[in-house]
Amino acid sequence: MAASSVIDIKGLSKIYGSGSKATVALDKLTLQVQPGEIFGYLGPNGAGKTTTIRVLLDLIRPSSGSASIFGMDARQQSVEIHQRIGFLPGELSLWQGRSGAQVIHYIASVRGDIKSIVKQAEELAARLKLDISKKVRDLSSGNKRKLGLVIAMMHSPDLLILDEPTNGLDPLVQQTFHELMNEFRDKGKTVFLSSHVLSEVQAICDRVGILRDGDLKAVQSVDALTDVKFRWVHVQFRDGVPAEVAQGLRNLPAVSEFNADGPHARMRLQGDFDPLLRTLGAGYVEQLHVEEPTLEDIFLAYYSGEGAGA
Amino acid sequence: MSGIIIGNTLRTAWKQMLYWGLGLGLLGMYIVFIASNSDIVQGYADLFESLPPALLTAFGASSAEFFRTTEGWVVTILVSELALFLSVYAVLAGLAISANEEQSGILDVVLSLPISRRAFLLEKWLAYALLAFGTVLISALLPTLTAIGLGIDADIGIIFASILAVYPSALIVITVTVLLSTLFRRRIAAIGAVAAFVIGSYMSSIVGSSASGPIADLLETLSYFSHVGGESIVSGEYEPGGTLALLVAAGLGFALSAHLFDRRDIGT
C-alpha cells in the first residue's frame, strides 16, 4: 500500500522550540495519500496542516519521522520531487513590482520548458478570468490567489499541494476551481489540499484527514464520513409545540438537542424515524423538514471526541 | 546551477547598482573637482600635518604626506568614505539575497521550485557579487573620467585602482550579511548584527591604526577596513595578500552560510 502512495508520511513529529517553550506542532503523524485522489486535510488554525505541508516541501525539517513523495525522500530528493509538484501556500507572497506575466515567466524559466508552461498558464488565467498583465501589487487578494493557482498548475504537475486554496476566491471562481480539480483528478493526478471550508472538501475530495493539535484524528472517505446515523429534524406545528409532544420528544432516547421556539421545533435524531413520528402524532404538524448533517457537524463531532457515528 | 536566478536577479536589481554607483561616483567627482585646485590640496595637507596621528587615521591616512600629492589626497579622502558608504549598499544587497524574501514569504514559493537551497543561495550571492562590482566600477569610472576631463596633475591609474580595491570589502559585508541572516533568521536581528559588525570593524580600524601594541595590531588586522588597500596603492607598497585574504574569507563565509541555510527551517 505504502509503496504506491504518492505521499507517505510515517511517524512524523515536529516540535518548535525546546525545554519549557517546546510546542508540538505534529505528533507522530502517519498518513498515506493514494494516486489519483483528492485528499482533504481538515483542521482548525494551528492544528498542524501548514506544518505538514512545509515538511512535505522540505521548507522545514521534521523532529522525527519521515515523509516521502513519489517514493522519494522529501528532504534528500527535494529537487526531483519539486519538479513534479505544484504548490500554493496559504499566505501567498510574490514580487510586488512584477506583473503576473513576469512572475509566470520567471517561475517557468526555473522549471524549464518556458514556452509550453507559459501557454498553459495563459489558458489557466483565461479560465480563472485573471489579468496577468497587472502588477502583483495591483491585484486584489482574490486575484493574487488565482495567480497562485496558475503558478501551481501551469506545469501540469503530478501532485498539487494546496494550502487553503479557495481563501478569498469568489463563489463563481470557486466553482471553476472545483472543475479544475476534478479535471486534474480525471487525468490520474493527485491533490493534497488543506482547508477549513468543509463544504468545499465535501464537494471535491475523495478522502479526508482530520487533524487537531498535531494529531490525526481520522482518515476516511468523504462518503463514509458523511454516512452518519444522525439527522437534523425541523418540525412546524400549527398551534405551537404542544407540551405533551415536547415532553415526549425530550424523553425519546433517539432525540437530543431538542429546541422549541413558537411553532418551530428542532432536534437531532439518531436512528429510526418511527418513534419520532408516533410522538409527533399528538400534535398537528404543518411542515416536516429533514436535514442531513453537514461536514461541519461531523467535524465538530470529531473534535468533541464523539466521532462521526455519534 | 542554471544561471536563471543570476540572470533574473541582475535584471531586477541593476537599477539599484546604477543609482548607488552614480551616487558614489558623484561623491568621487566632487572630491576630484576639489582636488583639481592645488591650493586647496596643499591647504588640507598643511592642516592635516598639524593633526595628531590618532585624528589623522580617522581620515583614513597614516601620514599627512599622503595629502601632499593629488592622487594621495583623492584616494585618502575618497576611499575611506567610499568603503563606509559601500558597506551600506553591501548590507542591503546581502539582505536581498535571502532575508527579504524569507521575511515576506516569497522564499516559500521559490524553494518549492526544482532548485536546491545551496544553488539558490549561490546564484543570488554571485549575482549580488557582480552587482557590487558594477557599483564599484561605476563609482570608480566617474571620478577617473572627471580627473581626465579636468586634466588634473595626478596618477589617474592609481585613483582608479584604489577605488576598485574597495570591492573585496563590499563582498565581505555582503557575505557577513548573508551569514547573519542565515543564523538569526529574523531580518531585524540580522540587520542589527551586521550593523554592529560594520561599525565595530570601522572603529577597530581607527583604534588599531592610531594605537600601538599587540591588541591594537589585532584590532587592525581583524577590521576589513584595514585591508581596503588604497593607501598602499598610493605609496606603491600594495601587496595582494590583504585583498586575497578578504576574498578567501568571503568564499569561506559563503560556504558556511550555504551549509547552515541548507540545514535550517525556512520562514520566521
Residue pLDDT, tens place only, A19-61: 888 899 999 999 999 999 999 998 888 889 999 999 999 999 9
What pLDDT sits at residue B58?
65
**Domain limits at B259?**
4-263
Q: Does A83 touch chain B (CB under 8 A)?
A: yes
CA gap B43, B38 in Å, rounded: 8
pLDDT at A247: 93
Query: Would the CB atoms of A95 and B12 count as touching at under 8 Å?
Result: yes
Q: How far is CA A139 from CA A88, A144, B101, in A?
A: 17, 6, 19
pLDDT, residue A309, reads 42
| B128 occurs within a structural domain | yes
ipTM of the complex: 0.83
Angle at B255 between CA B82 and CA B240, to 5 degrees: 45
In whole angstroms, give the CA distance from residue A75 to residue A57: 8
Nearest CA in chain B to A62: B265
What whole-number percentage of chain A has pLDDT above 90?
70
pLDDT tens, position by position, A87-132: 999 999 999 999 999 999 999 999 988 999 999 999 999 999 999 9
B101 lies in some domain: yes
Distance CA B129, CA B90 (A): 9
pLDDT above 70 (res A308): no
Indicate if the pLDDT at residue A226 is higher than 80.
no
Phi-psi region of A108 (alpha: psi -120 to 50; beta: other; left: phi over 0): alpha
- Domain assignment of residue B268, yes or no: no
How many domains does chain B fold into?
A: 1
Q: Is residue B189 situated within a structural domain? A: yes
Q: Which residues of A touch B116 (CB under 8 A)?
A: 78-79
pLDDT tens across B131-149, in order?
999 999 999 999 999 999 9
The position carrying cell 515536529 is: A14
Of A59, A91, A92, the CB nearest to B111: A59
pLDDT in tens, B188-202: 999 999 999 999 998
- Candidate from B105, B106, B116 with C-beta closest to A79: B116
Q: In chain A, what residues touch B268 (CB-CB under 8 Å)?
A: none
**3-state secondary structure (DSSP) of residue A52:** helix
> Tens digits of per-residue pLDDT, B241-260?
888 888 999 999 999 999 99
pLDDT of residue B25 exceeding 90: yes
Q: Is residue B17 part of a domain?
A: yes
pTM of the model: 0.85
Place B49 in a pLDDT band, splitting at 50, 70 and 90: confident
Give the minimum alpha-carbon distance from B179 to chain A in angstroms, rounded to a whole number: 19
pLDDT band at B61 (very low <50, low <70, confident <90, very high): low
B10 within a domain of the structure (yes/no): yes
Q: How far is B67 from chain A, CA to nearest CA, in Å?
A: 47
